[in-house]
């Protein structure tokens, strides 16, 4: 079935749209759950290698994402959402633990064959990672029925445990979009079909097992749009057969490009294939929402849509993410990810929040929404931004600073400036005025006109190191 705007809205129980109904307050009141005090179900949709700038709702004019865009219009979109680490395994570990790489011990992507020079990849999590309290642990201990579908990539991929009543995962490093080998509750199963649709099918299988008697927490870790870019249904490639991506702002390959250099030899062609993968992901959204509606769970389900890190796609002369270059980069394109909150009657529709939020903020935020206490004694760096998501004023003024950490690189970014320190400040370092130079072409680190900015953000990083 081809999903249009009309049948999308029908399948989601007529998502509230301000342009269609000026009586928003009355409509929102009607959509409140029967028991306003009930804890919400939580559906976390986690894409792989999806930058915010690749979505229509974040300004992209060439990649088709109508369903994600409608999800954003019917909820609240965070305009400045950042990962802590622009690499998958480390970023996911921060998302689910609320802690930083130097705390949870996953510093890079997990691979059986890490590279030493320059350092790329990490063979396995440290033994101490088993003692990390993940969001699944917390919610399952408080009565949530927890499920996980898709890419885990934090160790023990085939049997993640963590209080999960249902799991459908892929082995670490798996990359097959067609006829994949998956693990259903720890048991190997050889599937036939398209991986992305198989994940959606298993997610709806989990949802079929749910009822209003107890809340659920389901994560769907889609592989899209991670490489490889083959294996997607042909109809998605056909959509972009003649696309030129003139608005992408890609640049000629840089000599210090490190990862996926082959992609840079055909930037337009590979962007066509990448876009096909993104649109294939977009088509899964209505299927999930329809199932929630069929089960009578839609109104009390908080849906969070995000990606585990950003991606360059030829911008700055690189293809991949934080390890695309030597030295490591922390460009906006790899640090910024979508963060969309959709919760009928709770999260205001057609809203956009300008505050800077980070992956390490998500755990305390979800805990507050689920009325669960975050783990004690973990020195969590994050703050709950639930009031922002709900359109309310936080009790304490929101501090617009986010931080990043990837191996030897650290970042502090406020609403205008960003500093990147490498090798404990020994360099090479960077400072950007993002208001004047959003594409980060002019490095002002050695410019004395920015001395006070450099000193202030350097102190921010030094203070942030207390989270260890």
pLDDT tens for 244-295 read 999 999 999 999 999 999 999 999 999 999 999 999 999 999 999 999 999 9
Tell me the CATH number for domain 38-401: 3.40.720.10
Distances, alpha carbon 251 to alpha carbons 259, 268, 352, 440, 465, in Å = 16, 11, 30, 13, 35
pLDDT tens for 217-249 read 999 999 999 999 999 999 999 999 999 999 999
pLDDT at 36: 39
pTM of the model: 0.92
Say yes or no to pLDDT of 17 above 90: no
Spell out the residues 6+ positions from residue 186 whose beta carbon is closer than 8 angstroms to its own: 158, 159, 167
Cis peptide before 118 (omega within 30 of 0): yes
Using an 8 Å Cβ cutoff, are 83 and 74 in contact?
A: no
Q: In Å, how far from its chain's centre is CA 214?
A: 26
Supply the angle between the helices 267-282 and 66-73 in degrees, to the nearest 10: 50
Sort 398 into a burial class: Cβ within 10 Å, 0-12 / 13-18 / 19+. middle
Q: Could you give the angle at the alpha carbon of 243 between the alpha carbons of 241 and 245, nearest 5°?
A: 150
Taking the C-alpha atoms of residue 10 and residue 293, their distance in angstroms, rounded to an integer, is 10
DSSP category for residue 264: G
pLDDT tens for 114-150 read 999 999 999 999 999 999 999 999 999 999 999 999 9
| Nearest residue to 336 (alpha-carbon basis) of 305, 313, 320, 357 | 357
Taking the C-alpha atoms of residue 213 and residue 29, their distance in angstroms, rounded to an integer, is 23
Query: Does CATH place domain 408-468 in 3.30.930.10?
Result: no
Domain boundaries, given as residue ranges, for the chain:
38-401, 408-468
Q: What values do phi and psi take at 225, rounded to 5?
A: -100, 35
pLDDT at 174: 85
pLDDT at 424: 97
**Mean pLDDT value of segment 189-198:** 97
Q: Taken in order 75, 79, 82, 87, is the CA torsion positive or negative?
A: positive
Tokens read off for 122: 């990490």
Using an 8 Å Cβ cutoff, are 5 and 14 in contact?
A: no
Q: What is the Cα Rg of the chain in Å? A: 21
Pairing of strands 216-221, 41-47: parallel
Using an 8 Å Cβ cutoff, are 111 and 125 in contact?
A: no
């Amino acid at each position: 079935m081809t999903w249009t705007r009309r049948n999308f809205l029908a399948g989601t129980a007529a998502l509230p749209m301000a342009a269609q109904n000026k009586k928003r307050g009355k409509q929102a009141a009607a959509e409140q759950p029967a028991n306003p005090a009930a804890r919400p179900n939580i559906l976390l949709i986690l894409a792989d290698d999806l930058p915010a700038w690749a979505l229509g709702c974040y300004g992209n004019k060439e990649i088709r994402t109508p369903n994600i865009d409608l999800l954003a219009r019917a909820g609240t979109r965070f305009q400045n959402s950042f990962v802590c680490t622009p690499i998958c395994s480390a970023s996911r570990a921060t998302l689910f633990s609320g802690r930083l790489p130097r705390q949870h011990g996953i510093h890079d992507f997990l691979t059986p064959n890490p590279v030493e020079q320059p350092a790329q990849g990490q063979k396995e999590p440290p033994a101490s990672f088993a003692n990390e309290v993940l969001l699944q642990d917390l919610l399952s201990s408080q009565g949530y029925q927890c499920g996980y579908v898709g890419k885990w990539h934090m160790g023990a991929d085939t049997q993640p445990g963590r209080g999960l009543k249902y799991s459908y995962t892929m082995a670490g490093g798996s990359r097959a979009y067609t006829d994949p080998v998956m693990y259903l509750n720890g048991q190997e199963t050889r599937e036939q079909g398209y991986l992305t649709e198989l994940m959606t099918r298993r997610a709806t299988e989990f949802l079929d097992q749910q009822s209003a008697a107890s809340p659920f927490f389901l994560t769907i870790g889609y592989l899209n749009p991670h490489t490889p870019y083959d294996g997607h249904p042909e109809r998605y490639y056909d959509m972009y057969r003649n696309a030129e991506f003139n608005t992408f702002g890609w640049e000629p390959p840089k000599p210090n490009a490190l990862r996926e250099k082959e992609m840079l030899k055909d930037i337009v062609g590979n962007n066509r294939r990448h876009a096909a993968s993104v649109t294939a992901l977009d088509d899964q959204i209505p299927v999930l929402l329809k199932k929630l509606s069929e089960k009578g769970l839609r109104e009390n389900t908080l849906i969070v849509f995000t990606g585990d890190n950003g991606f360059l796609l030829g911008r700055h002369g690189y293809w991949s993410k934080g390890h695309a270059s030597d030295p490591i980069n922390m460009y906006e394109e790899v640090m910024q990810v979508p963060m969309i909150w959709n919760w009928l009657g709770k999260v205001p529709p057609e809203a956009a929040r300008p505050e800077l939020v980070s992956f390490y903020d998500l755990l305390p935020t979800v805990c507050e929404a689920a009325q669960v206490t975050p783990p004690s004694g973990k020195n969590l760096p994050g703050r709950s931004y639930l009031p922002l998501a709900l359109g309310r004023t936080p009790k304490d003024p929101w501090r617009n600073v986010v931080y990043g950490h990837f191996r030897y690189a650290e970042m502090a970014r406020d609403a205008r400036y960003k500093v990147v320190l490498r090798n404990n400040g020994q360099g090479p370092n960077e400072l950007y005025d993002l208001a004047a130079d959003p594409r980060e072409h002019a490095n002002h680190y050695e410019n004395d006109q920015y001395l006070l900015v450099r000193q202030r953000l350097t102190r921010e990083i030094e203070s942030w190191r207390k989270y260890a």
